[in-house]
Amino acid sequence: MPPKAGTAKPTGIKKSIIVPSKVYTKDSSSTIKPEDIEGVEETEITAQISVPTEGGWGWVVVAASFLTIFLLDGVYFTFGSIYHDMCDDLKVGESVVALVNSVAVAVYFMGGPLVSALINRFGFRAVCMTGSIISASALLCTYFVVDFVTILILYGLFGGFGACLCSMGSGLVVGFYFEKLRSLAMAISSIGSSIGIMIMFTVNSYIVKLAGWRLLVLMQSGLVGLIYFLAMTFRPLLSLTVTTVVDEPTRTVAYLPSLAAIKAAPSKTKREGVMPSAAERLFSAVSNAHFPTAAAVIGESTVPTPTQAGPSTAVASRLTLTAQGPQSGISRRQLKQVQSLISKSKSRVSVKDDNAEKAIEININIEEPIKRSVFQRLFHWEEHVPQARPMYRDDAFYDGRLDKLPAYQKSKMETAPEARTGLEYQMAVSRAVTAADLSEKRGVFTTAVRRILATMMDPKLLRRLSFILLCTSGFFTYLGYLVPYVFLPDRAKSEGIDPAHCSIFVSVIGFANALGRLTIGALAMKLNPVYLYMAVCLISGTAIISFNFSFNLYYVYVICILFGFHIASLSCVRSVVLVHLFGLDMLTNATGIMIMFQGLGSLISTPLSSILKNSFGYSVSFYVAGTLVLIGGIVLIPVKKLNEREKKKMSMKDVPPKQPTITTTKDQ
- Which whole number is the average pLDDT over 49-57? 78
pLDDT confidence tier of residue 117, bands split at 50, 70 and 90: very high
Q: How large is the average pLDDT for residues 346-368?
A: 43
Q: Say what percent of the chain tops pLDDT 90.
A: 23
Q: What is the DSSP string of 340-406?
A: HHHHHHHHTS----GGGGGS-EEE--EEPPPP--HHHHHTPPPPP-TT--GGGBTTTT--S-GGGSH
pLDDT at residue 161 in the model: 94
Asked if residue 84 belongs to a domain, the reply is: yes
Into how many domains does the chain fold?
A: 3
Asked whether residue 154 falls in the same domain as residue 272, the answer is: no
Q: What is the pLDDT of residue 638?
A: 92
Residue 45, φ and ψ in degrees, nearest 5: -130, 165
Structural domain includes residue 493: yes
The predicted-structure confidence for 197-245, as pLDDT tens digits, reads as follows 889 888 888 898 888 899 999 999 999 999 999 998 888 887 777 665 5
> Are the beta carbons of 403 and 181 closer than 8 angstroms?
no
User: What pLDDT score does 93 carry?
Assistant: 80
Reported confidence tier of residue 39, pLDDT bands at 50, 70, 90? low
11 is a domain residue: no
Mean pLDDT calculated for residue range 512-532? 87
Q: Are residues 73 and 179 in the same domain?
A: yes
Q: How confident is the model at residue 591 (pLDDT cuts 50, 70, 90)?
A: very high
Contacts of 325-329 with CB under 8 Å at 24 or more apart are: 325/15, 325/236, 325/238, 325/239, 325/385, 326/383, 326/384, 326/385, 326/386, 327/367, 328/14, 328/365, 328/367, 329/14, 329/15, 329/364, 329/365, 329/366, 329/367
Residue 655 within any structural domain of the chain: no
Give the number of other Cβ atoms within 10 Å of residue 496's Cβ.
7
Residue 78 pLDDT > 80, yes or no? yes
Last residue of a domain, one of 456, 473, 508: 456
pLDDT at 18 over 60: no
Pair (215, 266) in one structural domain? no
Q: Using 50, 70 and 90 to split pLDDT, how confident is the model at 158?
A: very high
pTM, entire model: 0.81
Same domain as 92, residue 24: no
Q: Which residues of 216-249 are buried (b: 16+ CB within 10 A; e: fewer)?
A: bbebbbebbbebbebbebbbbbbbbbbbbbeeee
**What is the percent of the chain where pLDDT is above 70?**
71
Nearest to 245 by CA among 347, 321, 332, 133: 321
Same domain, 79 and 170: yes
Q: Which of 203, 235, 267 is the last residue of a domain?
A: 235
Closest CA to 630 of 546, 573, 511, 514: 546
Distance CA 200, CA 189 (A): 17
Most confident of 452-456, 570-574, 652-656: 452-456
181, 213, 235 - which closes a domain: 235
Q: Cα dihedral sign for 489, 493, 499, 500?
A: negative
409 and 270 part of one domain = yes
Return the closest-CA partner of residue 467 out of 577, 541, 627, 566. Answer: 577
Please indicate, yes or no, if residue 82 is contained in any of the structural domains: yes
3-class DSSP state of 470: helix
- Assess whether 513 and 619 both reside in one domain: yes
Same domain for 423 and 471? no
Q: Are 557 and 505 in contact (CB under 8 A)?
A: yes
Q: How confident is the model at residue 342 (pLDDT cuts 50, 70, 90)?
A: low
pLDDT at 129: 93
Model confidence band, residue 146 (pLDDT cutoffs 50, 70, 90): confident
Q: Are 340 and 225 members of one domain?
A: no
Residue 666 lies in a domain: no
Average pLDDT, the chain: 77
255 shares a domain with 213 = no
> Is 451 part of a structural domain of the chain?
yes
Domain limits for position 23: 16-50+238-456
Shared domain for 247 and 343, answered yes or no, is yes
Q: Are residues 293 and 219 in the same domain?
A: no
User: Is 35 inside any structural domain?
Assistant: yes
Most confidently modeled of 24-33, 303-312, 328-337, 597-606?
597-606
What are the DSSP E strand ranges found in 492-540? none
Q: Which helix (H) or strand (E) holds 240?
A: strand 239-246
Each residue's pLDDT tens digit, 101-111: 889 989 999 99
CATH number of the domain encompassing residue 216? 1.20.1250.20
Rounded Cα–Cα distance for residues 77 and 88 (Å)? 20
End-to-end CA distance of the chain: 30
Q: How far apart are CA 460 and CA 464, in angstroms?
A: 8
Q: For 431, which DSSP code? A: B
Residue 41 near residue 344 (C-beta atoms within 8 A)? no
Distance of CA 132 to CAs 100, 125, 228, 503, Å?
A: 19, 11, 5, 28
Displacement of CA 246 from its chain's centroid (Å): 36
